[in-house]
Structure 1
């Protein structure tokens, strides 16, 4: 079994009842569903319309016309690219906030724009890696080619829901920013005036906000890379078990 520790985090270990991203959102004040969620099949059924069901049926019945060839080296390259990309994104996310020019007043918009820029990089990188992995799978053999088609069908069916869900994170960040800087949000006071009222230096609160925003984006990065990790693990299992 291949070691994926270089691309996974402890939050993905078996037995963890809630994903780290959900935990961080809850800590930031985001409302979460009360009680247990419906079973996976029921939740997926709500997302699949008639066209998605037809696409899924076609994916299940998919048969590649290519004879296929060993893509082991290509799979290794994508695996290494995943690790390199993740490390590079973590470095960028860890420097979040440093690119914002300091001003006399603390304004949320520059920090939101910087965060959204990083989020778009995360989305683009995860999408590119997922597409590359599917391409390698389709060229390997029938089993992986069908799995790639199934992943594409699920990806298309869940695209709207996923975008809508991740779009709530910036709203949570804005609420968190306003909670940390209530005087600035309501009266547009300067940081020194707000510090006199709260007894806490605005620089400390800004550092805390940036750290929380970084953690949310790091957790989102792991969520977006999970499909790629799953596909690559299937690839390595297929290559290992192939005669």
Structure 2
């Protein structure tokens, strides 16, 4: 009798649980405590900068537009535009000027990898621009909110490089997920590709992968908009 899987459930946001499923490496070691994790992300220079943001008077805000309902509408518009791009058809032509590493990718995966990278860049650019604008507006509302805006700026400068490094691994995990689905289909009499593999793999498994790719992008978009939603909530509070 086959033994039941002993894999421990992964706790955390939907994006983390999804990536754990793509990784599929079995039981993971116990997670370190929160202080230990923070110690890995904050060196002493960043800790001093954060302490100054918390303890010192915030700098005088620069002149600019004040917050109004139009800012909520703009954030919603950008968010919807990013969702539309994620849900759009994926260009399956091989990427131009493909990197040498692309030769090591699973058959047919390169266009999906490029699509994910393109959407990541779009999300990073759009969310960064919105976050900076909302932070400037927050600093103009009151001294207390100016302090909050400065803390958010320090947190962004501290965590964004780490976030970028971690999120750059998502296409790698998607490649492993793609390969597993492809290999499983190859051993299935119904889904198995022809003896001569087509230039672009096809089959029900590919529809599953494409849906998983979009789910991953939507979950990542949700993560990238968490700070923006927090700033909007602070701006609405009088």
| Structure 1 position 37, deviation (Å) | 4.2
**TM-score in terms of structure 1 length:** 0.75
The Cα of 1:120 is off from its aligned counterpart by 0.7
Match of 2:60 among 62, 65, 69: 65
- Secondary structure at 1:140 match in 2: coil
How many residue pairs get aligned? The number is 209
Alpha-carbon distance in 1 for matches of 2:64, 2:79:
28
Change (3 A) 1:194 1:80: farther
Which SS does the other structure have where 1:34 is aligned? coil
Q: 1:24 matched to which residue of 2?
A: 18
Which aligned segments of 4 or more residues in structure 1 are displaced greater than 2 angstroms?
29-37, 62-72, 182-185, 190-195
Larger deviation, residues 112-121 vs 202-211: 202-211
Note if 1:100 corresponds to 2:92. yes
Structure-to-structure mapping, 1:161-172, within 5 angstroms: 161-172=162-173
Aligned residue number for residue 157 of structure 1: 158
Identify, as 1 or 2, the structure richer in helix.
Answer: 1
RMSD over aligned CA atoms reads: 3.2
Instruction: State the distance in 2 between where 1:142 and 1:70 align.
Output: 17
Spell out, residue by residue over 1:30-53, the C-alpha distance to the aligned partner (whole angstroms, 9 max, x if none).
5584335412x4422321112212
Gap change, CA 1:24 and 1:233, over 3 Å in 2: same
Deviation at 1:171, TM superposition (A): 0.7
The gaps in structure 2 that reach 5 residues or longer are 1-10, 95-105, 187-191
Contact 1:63–1:142 (8 Å) recurs in 2: yes
Match of 1:193 in 2: 195
